């Protein structure tokens, strides 16, 4: 029997539904409201949380781990370390979030009555070993935690105690590497175990199995993988790490991560792994995933646009908006809007973006073509704007009294590629990204990064145009995407405003 959830409204939506570096999505529904959490890796605050009423338009409502008592990353925690793969669930009137801190603390569980926060301090699970933890409850009240591998623990979610011995479960297609991202669901007469496999690169995929109990034995779906774009030239690649949700009208949907590579061979993705949406049908007791595309049919219900993050921040509030992220921690004494009202003040810790403890505040790049501008006063220090992937891959424009300079760090190579005298006083710094048109040359990079300043009359002076492929995961490795932000490398610097605008190219 086929139960269809594919809408036929004539309307379309754009994928990804949450663009930019928002990987490993986990979703739950409470009434008519949907909530979604993503990985945040080495950034603080941790685990961004989103709300939607239509599965299409998402508004960030906070970060689950926004206090030092919840998240402490060592100063030397590596990039692409930190927080991996949360699972977000609504059970027994509460919201539950479980996540792995691979740099310090292992598996941690948090609860809240309101997903916008505050969230509790962590319950530690020292007996649960493995990443990508999942939570599910059976009818007897047992709480099952399933982790990558795939193995399963019965736990007391209130104390973190492990109850009994772990069980090995179905681990995906024989020969497929990296069975991970498990999610366990009770749907009808079966328990379904959804996993990712094949690694989080081009061979990524989603597979599923079912059994009569939460610990199996599990029968694999004969159509596995139920979603993958491996071996295709589809514009969305690396598809996997999925989660399922049922809408109030009975339809089923899947959120998952994917990337949008650009340029020639092998293709480079620069925004990180993004969150996509796709409908799911049920055929003979198995989920059948609809066509995943950049433009797809809209859900059957009225769409309710959310509140997008504003393009400009004038730093007039006492606290930073939830979309601002920093590296590993954010001491208030080093980052504040209270010292100079209407300005963001950054006090330098590390000497440059090469250092793990540099003072940095940024936003995820969410569009392939965008323009970022900021007015900086470097009278008592040195700092600027940077496009960051990690400590060894970033482009910076740095202002000091009377001078700006552009620096490129690409692996072991470090070069000042341009400099220019500037008048005393504040200066507007500017970074633009633009996709490169598809050419016959297979070596064409994905985009260019233009770096420069604005003259007092608003004229743009480009100081350097840099190849964007070197700020991509395919070059740098790791699991994150670009973040464009402000930094201090010496003394104290003040930023009057920051403006992020998508561009039509």
DSSP 473: H
Check residue 334 and give its pLDDT.
96
Predicted pLDDT at 7: 45
- Between CA 441 and CA 260 the distance in angstroms is 19
What's residue 505's pLDDT? 67
Q: What CATH number was assigned to the domain covering residues 312-502?
A: 2.60.120.200
Positions of CATH 2.60.120.200 in the chain: 312-502
Intervals of CATH 2.115.10.20 along the chain: 2-297
What is the β-pairing status of strands 43-44 and 59-65?
Answer: unpaired
Residue 293 to residue 287: CA distance in whole angstroms: 18
Task: Please name every residue paired with 254 in a beta bridge, in sequence order, or none if there are none.
Answer: 244, 278
In terms of CATH, what superfamily is 2-297?
A: Glycosyl hydrolase domain; family 43 (2.115.10.20)
Beta bridge partners of 228: 205
| Structural contact between residues 119 and 64, judged by C-beta atoms closer than 8 angstroms | yes
Token pair, residue 354, equals 């090469």
SS (HEC) of 219-280: EECCCCCCEECCCCCCCCEEEEEEEEEECCCCCEEEEEEEECCECCCCCECCCCCEEEEEEE
Mean pLDDT of successive 10-residue segments in the chain (505 residues)?
51 95 98 98 98 96 97 94 98 98 96 97 97 97 97 98 96 94 97 97 97 97 98 97 97 98 95 98 97 95 82 95 97 95 96 95 98 97 98 98 97 96 94 88 93 94 98 97 98 98 88
* Residues designated as active site: 24, 180
So what's the pLDDT on residue 9? 58
How much is the pLDDT for 309?
78
Give pLDDT, residue 442. 87
The span from the CA of 393 to the CA of 389, in Å, is 6
């Amino acid at each position: 029997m086929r139960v269809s959830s594919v809408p036929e409204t004539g309307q379309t939506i754009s994928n990804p539904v949450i663009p930019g570096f928002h990987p490993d999505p986990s979703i739950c529904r409470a009434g008519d409201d949907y909530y979604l959490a993503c990985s945040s890796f080495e950034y603080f605050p941790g685990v961004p949380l989103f709300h939607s009423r239509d599965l299409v338009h998402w508004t960030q409502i906070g970060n689950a781990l926004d206090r030092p008592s919840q998240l402490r990353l060592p100063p030397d925690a590596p990039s692409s370390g930190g927080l991996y793969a949360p699972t977000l669930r609504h059970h027994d009137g509460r919201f539950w979030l479980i996540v792995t801190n691979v740099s310090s603390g292992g598996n941690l569980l948090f609860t809240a009555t309101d997903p916008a926060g505050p969230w509790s301090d962590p319950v530690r699970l020292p007996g649960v070993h493995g990443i990508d933890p999942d939570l599910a409850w059976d009818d007897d009240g047992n709480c099952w935690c399933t982790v990558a591998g795939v193995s399963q623990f019965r736990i007391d979610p209130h104390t973190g105690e492990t109850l009994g011995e772990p069980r090995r479960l179905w681990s995906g297609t024989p020969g497929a590497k990296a069975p991970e991202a498990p999610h366990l669901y009770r749907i009808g007469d079966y328990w379904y175990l959804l996993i990712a496999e094949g690694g989080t690169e081009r061979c990524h995929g989603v597979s599923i199995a079912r059994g009569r109990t939460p610990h199996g034995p599990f029968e694999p779906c004969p159509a596995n993988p139920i979603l993958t774009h491996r071996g295709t030239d589809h514009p969305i690649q690396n598809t996997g790490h999925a989660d399922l949700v049922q809408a109030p009208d009975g339809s089923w949907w899947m959120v998952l991560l994917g990337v949008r590579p650009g340029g020639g061979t092998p293709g480079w993705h620069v925004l990180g792994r993004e969150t996509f949406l796709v409908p799911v049908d049920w055929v003979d007791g198995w989920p059948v995933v609809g066509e995943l595309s950049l433009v797809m049919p809209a859900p059957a219900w009225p769409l309710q646009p959310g509140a997008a993050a504003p393009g400009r921040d004038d730093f007039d509030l006492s606290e930073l908006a939830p979309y601002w992220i920093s590296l590993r921690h954010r001491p208030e004494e080093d980052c504040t809007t209270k010292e100079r009202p209407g300005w963001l003040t950054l006090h330098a810790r590390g000497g440059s973006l090469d250092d793990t403890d540099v003072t940095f505040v940024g936003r995820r790049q969410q569009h392939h073509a965008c323009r970022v501008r900021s007015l900086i006063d470097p009278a008592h220090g040195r700092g600027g704007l940077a496009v960051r992937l990690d400590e060894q891959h970033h482009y910076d424009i740095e202002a000091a009294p009377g001078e700006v300079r552009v620096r490129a760090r690409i692996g072991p190579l470090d070069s000042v590629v341009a400099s220019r005298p500037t008048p005393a006083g504040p200066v507007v710094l500017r970074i633009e990204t633009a996709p490169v048109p598809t050419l016959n040359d297979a070596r064409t990079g994905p985009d260019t990064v233009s770096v420069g300043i604005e003259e007092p009359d608003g004229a743009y002076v480009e100081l350097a145009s840099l190849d964007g492929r070197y700020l991509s995961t395919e070059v740098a490795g790791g699991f994150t995407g670009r973040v464009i932000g402000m930094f201090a490398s010496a003394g104290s610097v003040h930023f009057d405003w920051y403006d992020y605008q998508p561009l039509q190219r």
